[in-house]
Structure 1
Amino acid sequence: MADWHRASAHRAASVAVLSMAAMGMVACGHKRQPQPVPPTATAPSVYNPPSYPAPAPRPSTGGIPVTPVPEGGISAEDKEFILSHRPIYSEEGSATWYTAPYKGRKSANGQVFSDEALTAAHRTLPMGSLIVVTNLRTRQTSAMRISDRGPFVPTAILDLTKASAQSIGIWPGSGRVRVDVYETPKPMDVGGRWCVQIGPFLSERKAIKFKAKLLNDYPGSKVIEFAGERSYWVRIRPAADDREQAEEMARRLQPEEGVAYLTRLD
């Protein structure tokens, strides 16, 4: 029994040392300048914990399969991976926090949204990406995974759950952060399934009118309009969800209201 207690204490001490080491490593930062599009020169490493099911085959323009994240957002394997690897991409910008407008609302990855999970929303990082977010004012850091899409405001790059925002000291409120990407289940620089989300529109009539214009201007694309929280949005998916076409659309579109956001679906 004494040996068991000593082994338990040794494991607890090891975990504490690893946690302190992770905080120190992330605080040192990654010195690359932020870029709006991930670089093509660095190929992201792929880390797939055994408990994560492989995505099912799907048609190029069909529904997006569920991309699960561990319970609570981060697993013990994720923390170990961060300790033994360096970031593959970094960017800086403003982060905000958000919550679901109703109970049971699903995140974009297909799982039910949770305020208590260490997850975040990003417009273009592959779903399920493992990131470490650093509060640039206080240097507080936390690991989390991308499970949702947003923020759809031009002034922010990341939306955090309540738990994620609290873990880096910006709840309630917002703050400037660095996002270090450690692992992406899919490549950042090639492939992907892309669209453009336009809004917000203050009236459903204007959203439907803009949808009709897009259907006329981009035949062969899939266009929908949908209601947000006290607003309306339009989403256009180019043929085969092609990234280059989506990027060109985002540059060309000039809605009467809102902004056109390039967004990755998978």
Structure 2
Amino acid sequence: MDIKDLLTEETVGAFAEAVHAAHGTFDRAGFMIRVFDSEWPDRALKQRIRHITLALHDLLWEDYREALNILRRVRPENFEGIIQWVFTDYVEVFGLDDWEASMPALEEFTQQFSAEFAIRPFIVRYPEQTLAQMLAWASHESAEVRRLASEGCRPRLPWGIRLQALVADPSPILPILERLKNDESESVRRSVANNLNDISKDNPDLVLDLLREWQPDATADVRWITGHALRTLVKQGHPGALALLGYPSDPAIAVHNLSVEPQGIQIGDEITLSFE
């Protein structure tokens, strides 16, 4: 099943019921008609989420802050799954002009469904204050919020807008990763590694320098982060990455009398490699 097909009429209907329970004038029937229009089958996952978000906004008839208050009253235990993305998407679409209200909302909603995509336009528009907020989140009691602190500022997050300023200069990210490198949550540590892997694609020396600094008193978790963070550089055969992982740049290996048989093949054929 395509993940977009998890957004069934039953799932969206349960969401509509939960919104109605929080805001009695919400038009459930009108919402369902707007969502399941003639173009619904052709929409991809993110397009479906955005479409639901826009339909929700059209029928709430409230200003942004009051809409947030309504969404906070929606009980997520009455529905589950990918549709919870709508909460953070609502902030991304309608909250960009209200940083002060949007940050607490993302902090709350990311504990239901990650705000890693929704936070990125705020980093673009308000880079210093948003990254300062994310550094504070790196000490949050919730692992989901701490993960957002790292995942949300990945320069090359898949599906997310590219943070071009952080591609060019990722140094503002490093204090966040420093704070999270020994986090008790595996998902947070994995995000740290993935963030460093993103950075390494454009700034390999910066990543290598940072990881070298971490090694003298590295825990097992930091050693795992190191290996996972360097996976792209290792695939490229980067000497610095290989050396940091304990592989010499000039291994004492020689290949002699290499032969390939047969000399010509077609798709689907097999070959034999021989060497000494």
Q: Same fold (TM over 0.5)?
A: no
Q: Relative CO higher for 1 or 2, CA cutoff 8 Å, sep ≥ 6?
A: 1
TM value normalised by structure 1: 0.23
TM-score scaled by length of structure 2: 0.22
Query: Highest Rg: 1 or 2?
Result: 2
Q: Which structure is higher in helix share?
A: 2
- Normalized per residue, the structure richer in strand is 1
